[in-house]
Amino acid sequence: MGDRTYTISELAAEFNVNPRTIRYYEEIGLLQPRRTESGRRLFSGREKTRLRLVFRGKKYGFQLEEIKEMIQLFDKDPSGKQQLLKTIEYGNNKIEEVSKRIAELETVKREMEALVEEFRRKLAE
């Protein structure tokens, strides 16, 4: 008995996305489903895992090219070490980016709090 396969509709429903999204990921090389004689896409468990990694990467703010590079590293090095090293590198960069954004947002929050307090004082006068 062969490995379980998934249709584009099944994966779209499972990941709550439009099938067009999955086709786009195929177009840019993130996924490589096999095709039936009639041209219907069949996705393997491996492709489903790749899709899960794509959505996880997007959740954490990685660009599709970064996600693609990390996924392809596993194909080149099945031990996963190169993929983990690259993921750590990109992860550290993302942490730095997020930290900067948090600092910016904290500054905006303090400025808004000061304005609100100033407006309250004006109303109280």
Structure tokens at 44: 């393997």
Determine what percent of the chain is predicted with pLDDT higher than 70: 98
Do 24 and 66 sit in the same domain of this protein? no
Q: Cβ distance 71 to 30 under 8 Å?
A: yes
Confirm whether pTM is higher than 0.95. no
The beta-strand segments (E) located in the chain are 34-35, 41-42
Residues 6+ apart with CB under 8 A from 57: 66, 67, 70
Query: Which residue, of 39, 59, 79, is where some domain finishes?
Result: 59
Exposed/middle/buried for residue 82 (C-beta within 10 Å: 0-12, 13-18, 19+): middle
Same domain, 91 and 74: yes
What the block records as the tokens of 72 is 């392809």
Would the pLDDT of 1 be above 60? no
pLDDT value of position 80: 82
Tens digits of per-residue pLDDT, 66-102?
A: 999 988 887 888 888 888 899 899 999 999 999 999 9
Which one has a higher pLDDT value, 74 or 64? 64
The whole domain housing 40 covers 1-59
**Mean pLDDT on 25-47:** 94
Both 72 and 113 in one domain: the answer is: yes
* pLDDT the model gives residue 106: 98
Q: From residue 110, how far is each of 96, 100, 105 by CA, in Å?
A: 21, 16, 9
The predicted pLDDT at position 47 comes to 94
Cβ pair 63, 54 in contact under 8 A: no
Q: How far out from the chain centre does Cα 14 lie?
A: 16
Residue 2 in this model has a pLDDT that exceeds 70: no
Residues 76, 55 within the same domain: no
Report residue 124's pLDDT band, with 50, 70 and 90 as the boundaries.
Answer: very high
The mean per-residue pLDDT over the stretch 97-120 comes to 97
